[in-house]
Amino acid sequence: MDYNATTPLRPEVRDLMVKSLDIYGNASSMHELGRKARAEIEGARANVAALIGTKDPSTVYFTSGGSESNNTVFNTMFLRGRNQTRHKIITTAIEHPCVLNAAAHLRDEGFPVVFLPVDRDGRIDMDAYRAELGPDVLLVSVMAANNEIGTIEDVGEIARLAKAQGAFVHTDATQAVGKIPVSVEDWNVDYLTLSCHKIYGPKGIGALYVRRKTPIEPLIRGGHQENGVRAGTYNNLGIIGFGEAARLAQEELSEYRQQVGSLRAMLRDLILERIPMVRINGPAAEVLPNTLNVSFPGAEGESILLSLDLEGIEVSTGSACASGSLDPSHVLMAIGLGPELAHGSIRFSLGKYTTEDDVRYVADRLPPIIARLRKMSTIPLEQLAQGIG
Amino acid sequence: MDAFQWLYSDIVKDHFTNPRNVYDTDRDKDFRPDAEGMVGNIKCGDQMMFMLKIENDLITDVRWKTYGCASAIASTSMLSETIKGMSIRDAYHIKPADIADRLGGLPENKIHCSVLGDKALRAAIDVYLERKGRAGEFSGEDAQIICKCLNISDKDIEEAVRQGARDWYTLQEATKIGTVCGSCKTKAEELLHEFVHIYS
């Protein structure tokens, strides 16, 4: 139950990759071997383009993954915004660390950077957003869906407001793609980041969508691959796997949402029924169909995680103890949870291979684990209820 | 340890899943400790409480409770076993590293979690000594000098934090540490960070 961290390679993708092992040609070569690789890559590009709602595959650039895509956008803004009056960056407090750190780097370089606050459910504060918008804004970067609590942001409206001020709009859709409908046309964004290993494809491959006539600067300079936007010999196998994973994700999207969404509801209801004093983090609606974040006050997150691990259940936690720092999850702190609730939080992220039996198994194993940890806790039981709600 | 195996040793796993001497609200209703000590802070994600029964300066029985991670639970369980029958002076001077060794090692970034049990134990012994009119009898015995210019020890830093120092500035106000050559600053700030975590 840790599909937001990564997903297994699905058999259909694996089979195609194995069959393609001998497609070793350099897609930049003019001879037949090269042209064969090129054809496969362009087919994959068309599939990825379709998955994110564009008919123009030439707007899709392959990268090594989400982090590279995000950094390419922020690097472009750095080069474009230097010594300009339009150089303000607006992002949010709940982005993935790769956006947070890329934005913090621009701030260190003298760019004004705003990390927008979010409400109790993780939706960005639109009043604060409107107040920050102006003719000096260069980029607005807001994630399409949050990886920890599953909140879906109103990217379309965010982009509309930004465009009215002439700003560029980027969305990190790494967690949204394959889970909810994603469309660069409906949202009218300039840049969109996606990653292959979150949609049952291989690791080490991702993509960046760049709207036509929108500036983009290479992070990796070299040959003329990807129209000079991303140098480096094509990762044939990764791209072929990505194309197949994208095709299947699009084909199965509505089935996935229905199936995973009902398992999430089942897990949520069983936890609420069987364990007293819990808090569901994230919104009730407009949430990823697979992501369920729960706080168990009185039980420390890493202890819960490792207890579940011993039962063969994989989850993640917002506890500081699991991160190596003393700070709990920045997302849970941003939605206003007290440290007690943040340290005792567990993220269950379901996927296409999760079954009803899996959900029942988790719902059976979890209550005694929470009860055991709460019993040895220094926090008196009557205090546990505080802050839930 | 094989990286593909559990994050912790088998001994840690055993003490985590089956911790010894944990205070049980039902079974231990009649446990009457001679001294209790509590350290840590839920805000930082961990808190620890020790309860001791002491006769003639020997620890005859012990219970503890924690809100903490697997590392804190396992190391405190091991510590509680180790100190049974030990003199309070020897127990006071147990080092977290000794407990980590008995556990078959802990991951580097989890060592600080295991310190909490040791601090709670000392806090309980301090309470006991104070009740007996022997306050401070063991403190300073194993002090380590941090600031060589002004002869300021880790115990002095710990005491300053207990009295309210929270950052480098307030620590300097309280102890004058690092005001001569300044070469102790890195080490002193590490200790400051650790003690603030435990006592704030």
Whether the pLDDT of residue B24 is over 60: the answer is yes
On whether both B84 and B122 belong to a single domain, the answer is yes
| Residue A98 annotated among the catalytic residues of the structure | no
- Nearest CA distance, A269 vs chain B (angstrom): 26
Contact (CB, 8 A) for A306 and A321 = no
On whether both B27 and B120 belong to a single domain, the answer is yes
Residue-level pLDDT at A389:
47
pLDDT bracket for residue A387 (50, 70, 90): low
Higher pLDDT, A188 or B113: A188
Contact (CB, 8 A) for A241 and A228 = no
Stretch B116-131: mean pLDDT? 91
On whether both B116 and B156 belong to a single domain, the answer is no
Nearest CB partner across the interface for A378, out of B16, B48, B69: B48
Give the residue numbers of B annotated as catalytic, written as ranges.
44, 113
Contact A375 B25 (CB under 8 A): yes
**Which pLDDT tens digit goes with each residue over B140-176?**
677 788 888 777 888 888 888 888 889 888 888 888 8
- Classify the phi-psi angles of A350: left when phi > 0, otherwise alpha if psi is within -120 to 50, otherwise beta: beta
Based on DSSP, count helices (H) and strands (E) in chain A, helices before strands. 15, 11
| Lowest-pLDDT choice from A12-16, A161-165, B132-136 | B132-136
Stretch A99-114: mean pLDDT? 97
On whether both B120 and B188 belong to a single domain, the answer is no
Total count of domains within chain A: 2
Evaluate whether residue B2 is within a structural domain.
Answer: no
Total count of domains within chain B: 2
On whether both A220 and A278 belong to a single domain, the answer is no
On whether both B84 and B152 belong to a single domain, the answer is no
| Lowest-pLDDT choice from A203-207, A314-318, B11-15, B102-106 | B102-106
pLDDT bracket for residue B190 (50, 70, 90): confident
| Lowest-pLDDT choice from A36-40, A67-71, B174-178 | B174-178
| CB contacts, 8 Å: A302 with chain B | 69-70
- Residue A344's closest CA among A313, A369, A310? A369
Contact B16 A303 (CB under 8 A): yes
| Lowest-pLDDT choice from A44-48, A285-289, B100-104 | B100-104
The percentage of residues in chain A with a pLDDT greater than 70, rounded to a whole number, is 96
The percentage of residues in chain A with a pLDDT greater than 90, rounded to a whole number, is 93
A-side interface with B, Cβ within 8 Å?
Answer: 298, 300, 302-303, 306-307, 309-310, 319-322, 324, 326, 328, 339-340, 343, 375-379
On whether both A238 and A291 belong to a single domain, the answer is no
Evaluate whether residue B137 is within a structural domain.
Answer: no
On whether both A246 and A260 belong to a single domain, the answer is no
| Lowest-pLDDT choice from A156-170, B12-26, B115-129, B166-180 | B166-180
Contact B67 A309 (CB under 8 A): no
Whether the pLDDT of residue A382 is over 70: the answer is no
On whether both A272 and A244 belong to a single domain, the answer is no
Residue range(s) defining the domain that contains residue A346: 253-373
| Lowest-pLDDT choice from A85-99, A353-367, B174-188 | B174-188
The percentage of residues in chain B with a pLDDT greater than 70, rounded to a whole number, is 96
**Which pLDDT tens digit goes with each residue over A202-237?**
999 999 999 999 999 999 999 999 999 999 999 999
Nearest chain B residue to A329 by CA distance is B45
Evaluate whether residue B1 is within a structural domain.
Answer: no
Evaluate whether residue A46 is within a structural domain.
Answer: yes
On whether both A148 and A235 belong to a single domain, the answer is yes
On whether both B117 and B166 belong to a single domain, the answer is no
**Which pLDDT tens digit goes with each residue over A255-313?**
999 999 999 999 999 999 999 999 999 999 999 999 999 999 999 999 999 999 999 99
- Active-site residue, from A266, A270, A277, A321: A321
Range among A49-63, B57-71, B184-198 rated most confident: A49-63
- Nearest CA distance, A62 vs chain B (angstrom): 32
* Exposed / middle / buried, residue A20 (Cβ in 10 Å: 0-12, 13-18, 19+): middle
On whether both A247 and A257 belong to a single domain, the answer is no
User: Mean pLDDT of all residues in chain B?
Assistant: 86
| CB contacts, 8 Å: B40 with chain A | 378
Q: What is the CATH number of the domain that holds B103?
A: 3.90.1010.10
Residue-level pLDDT at A386:
60
Distance CA A245, CA A203 (A): 12
Residue-level pLDDT at B57:
95
**Which pLDDT tens digit goes with each residue over A308-330?**
999 999 999 988 766 556 678 99
Whether the pLDDT of residue B1 is over 50: the answer is no
Evaluate whether residue B184 is within a structural domain.
Answer: yes
| CB contacts, 8 Å: A300 with chain B | 45-46, 67-69
On whether both A271 and A226 belong to a single domain, the answer is no
On whether both B118 and B23 belong to a single domain, the answer is yes
Domain stops at, among B131, B153, B168: B131
Whether the pLDDT of residue A351 is over 80: the answer is yes
**Which pLDDT tens digit goes with each residue over A1-25?**
999 999 999 999 999 999 999 999 9
Question: Is the Cα dihedral A224, A54, A252, A270 positive or negative?
Answer: positive
On whether both A242 and A260 belong to a single domain, the answer is no
On whether both A88 and A68 belong to a single domain, the answer is yes
On whether both A266 and A246 belong to a single domain, the answer is no
**Which pLDDT tens digit goes with each residue over A51-64?**
999 999 999 999 99
| CB contacts, 8 Å: B19 with chain A | 376
Stretch A153-168: mean pLDDT? 98
On whether both B15 and B112 belong to a single domain, the answer is yes
On whether both A205 and A307 belong to a single domain, the answer is no
Residue-level pLDDT at A326:
64
On whether both A303 and A223 belong to a single domain, the answer is no
On whether both B106 and B162 belong to a single domain, the answer is no
DSSP A152: B
Q: What is the CATH number of the domain that holds A66?
A: 3.40.640.10
Q: What is the pTM of this model?
A: 0.90
Tell me which residue has tokens 């599953």.
A150
| CB contacts, 8 Å: B38 with chain A | 378
On whether both B127 and B152 belong to a single domain, the answer is no
Q: What are phi and psi of B11, to 5 degrees?
A: -70, -40
Stretch A137-150: mean pLDDT? 98
Domain stops at, among B98, B131, B164: B131
Contact B16 A306 (CB under 8 A): yes
Contact (CB, 8 A) for A13 and A202 = yes
Residue range(s) defining the domain that contains residue B185: 145-199
Residue-level pLDDT at B153:
84
Tell me which residue has tokens 């040791």.
B118
- CA angle at A281 for the pair A276 and A287, rounded to the nearest 5°: 130
Q: Helix crossing, A236-251 with A32-51: angle to 10°?
A: 30
On whether both B191 and B156 belong to a single domain, the answer is yes
On whether both B125 and B187 belong to a single domain, the answer is no
Q: What is the CATH number of the domain that holds B193?
A: 1.10.10.1100
Evaluate whether residue B87 is within a structural domain.
Answer: yes
Whether the pLDDT of residue B3 is over 50: the answer is no
Domain stops at, among B80, B106, B131: B131
Contact B17 A310 (CB under 8 A): yes
